[in-house]
Amino acid sequence: MKKIVVTLLAGVMALGLVACGGSSDSAAESKVPANTVHSVDDLPGKTIGVQLGTTGDIYASDYEAEGSTIERYNKGADAIQSLKQGKVDCVIIDAQPALAFVAKNPELKILEEEFALEEYAICVSKENAELTAKINDALAQLQENGTLTQIIANYIGDETKGTMPYESPADVDRSNGTLVMATNAAFEPYEYYENQEIVGIDADMAQAVADILGMELKIEDMEFDSIINAVTSGKADIGVAGMTITEDRLQNVDFSDPYTTATQVIVVRGE
């Protein structure tokens, strides 16, 4: 009887060891892979995460011909989450949102090498050239008096962040109606939610433009890929969402003069 018990115990222990070994193997297999993207030259053949319809999406698409797989997400945060989980090898996104994401996720980093330089502008319907001209005049005024610099510095300045909030003049006459702005409020620091309110560089800049035009500003949050359709259909007057002027977009909408310069960067997992 004792021999049988010992034999049974040995069998159980053996099964336990096999199970443990299988569990370890499984854990090893589920481990997030090491970073393999160290420069722009490493992008061919990789799985690249982007936010759908953004400039990063447009630029990354060029690598599909070189064997890369492009994974498109409705929100930049979703692309970052997939990077953390090892589902993509890197994420291409604007530098300022990238800095915000990396600050919250120290296991990620931004490659020092810039991916692309771009200019952001306000998109307007081709049928509303008068509004485009008025916006350009307003932007020129905001550039000249330093308001635009102040707005940007309030969100991304190393020493000025949060210390220079934009405030509308108390005597603004808003009798010229409402300016409806379409955006995608998931692109910090350009547009994002804070205390259930959409804030950011673009929100403040659009408010300053509306102040000069004598209009109320109404911000509509939607998917980035829907913004141009909202403008062309008349559901929104302007599209403001860290949007770059591209040849494809110019086929459907007009753009204001650029109001800021931005950089596309590559976010990867740390070593």
How many Cβ atoms from other residues are within 10 Å of residue 53's Cβ? 20
Please give the Cα distance from 145 to 47 (Å, whole number).
45
The amino acid sitting at 131 is L
Cβ burial of 104 (10 Å; 0-12, 13-18, 19+) is exposed
Q: Which residues of 239-269 are buried (b: 16+ CB within 10 A; e: fewer)?
A: bbbbbbbeeebeeebbbbeebbebebbbbbb
Cβ-based neighbours of 265, under 8 Å, separated by 6 or more: 92, 93, 94, 95, 98, 110, 111, 114, 115
User: What is the pLDDT averaged over residues 246-258?
Assistant: 96
pLDDT for residue 31: 84
Task: Classify strands 178-183 and 238-239 as parallel, antiparallel or unpaired.
Answer: parallel
pLDDT tens for 204-237 read: 999 999 999 999 999 999 999 999 999 999 999 9
**Beta carbons of 66 and 45 less than 8 angstroms apart:** yes
pTM over 0.75: no
Q: Which CATH number fits domain 40-118: 3.40.190.10, 3.90.1150.10, 3.40.50.300, 3.20.20.150?
A: 3.40.190.10
Please give the Cα distance from 118 to 260 (Å, whole number).
9
- pLDDT confidence bin for 114, thresholds 50/70/90: confident
Q: Is the pLDDT of residue 157 over 80?
A: no
Whether 40-118 shares its CATH topology with 122-255 is answered: yes
Q: What angle do CA 132, 135, 140 make, to 5 degrees?
A: 125
pLDDT for residue 158: 67
**Beta carbons of 181 and 206 less than 8 angstroms apart:** yes
- Inter-CA distances, 196 with 171, 186, 199, 224, 239, Å: 27, 13, 9, 19, 20
| Torsions phi, psi for 95 (to 5 deg) | -60, -40
Question: How many CA atoms within 13 Å lie on the side-chain side of 114?
Answer: 9
pLDDT for residue 96: 86
pLDDT tens for 8-65 read: 344 434 434 444 444 444 444 458 899 999 999 999 999 999 998 888 898 899 999 9
- Structural domain boundaries in the chain: 40-118, 122-255
Q: Is the pLDDT of residue 255 over 70?
A: yes
Q: Is the pLDDT of residue 86 over 70?
A: yes
At the top level of CATH, the class of 122-255 is alpha beta
User: What is the pLDDT averaged over residues 124-150?
Assistant: 97
Which of 46-60, 110-124, 136-150 has the highest average model confidence (pLDDT)? 136-150
pLDDT tens for 159-204 read: 788 899 999 999 999 999 999 999 999 888 899 999 999 999 999 9
User: What is the pLDDT averaged over residues 79-96?
Assistant: 95
Please give the Cα distance from 234 to 237 (Å, whole number).
6
Q: Tokens 């996104």 appear where?
A: 93
